[in-house]
Structure 1
Amino acid sequence: MNLALWIAAGLLAAVALTGGVCKTFIPKETLAAHHGGAWTGDRSVVFVKTLGVLELLAAAGLVLPAAVGVAPVLVPVTAVCWTLLMIGAMITHGRRGETGFVPLNLVYLALAVVVAWGRFGPESFMN
């Protein structure tokens, strides 16, 4: 179970890192022109960049606290935050009619719920 939680957290961290780098460092206009990024055209640059930075923090928070043994409770807390972020992503894509992204966001949400449950519960780092 511990290995499965590490793998799930690692996968989520990779997704968060990829999304965070894109939103933080790629111009909003370029993002808006790509498949799945059209929603950025409706948001301010500050919002998109802030979301990117939050995703970068999530990438770190899903793995680093447990890996270095400093405040490992941040792993499930970050997973809960990622769950909320994915709910927002599903709502955004759903409202825009981009329903192809909703199932993918649901998979990420499910992984985050599993990580949060596992790290708050049976495989807690606090034991």
Structure 2
Amino acid sequence: MSGLPDRRETLPQSIEEIADTIGVRLALKLVQTFGGQEVKFPVKPHDRHPVILALGKEDGLRICDYMGGQRFSVPHCRPRRNAKADIERLEAQGLTRGQIARRLGLTERWVRKMANDPPPDHPDLFSE
């Protein structure tokens, strides 16, 4: 799992808490498979659900048993970078924010934040 932390102590807190319950192996598999994406985990997934297909039935059911009914922004566990120009370029090409997140290795939440932040020279309408 290249690019991912190799020690439990270096995991982001949200994944560390998941690793405490479902194990480090499955937590890292979750990051490797869905890193940078927001995933809605079903309570009772069917055999063709994307989580089951991506993680395998046993691991998929295990994570859904723990996370079922929740939406979770899976961290990518890569160092942060300033990607505002890349995000703007890819949005102009018509990519969705989810596609941009996957392409740049960022979370959808970070892509939304960067895309919605005004440029540094943009005047603040509420400042005096």
Q: TM-score range by the shorter chain?
A: under 0.3
Larger RCO (alpha carbons 8 Å, 6+ apart): 1
Structure with a larger share of its residues in strand: 2
Name the structure with the higher helix share.
1
> TM-score scaled by structure 1?
0.27
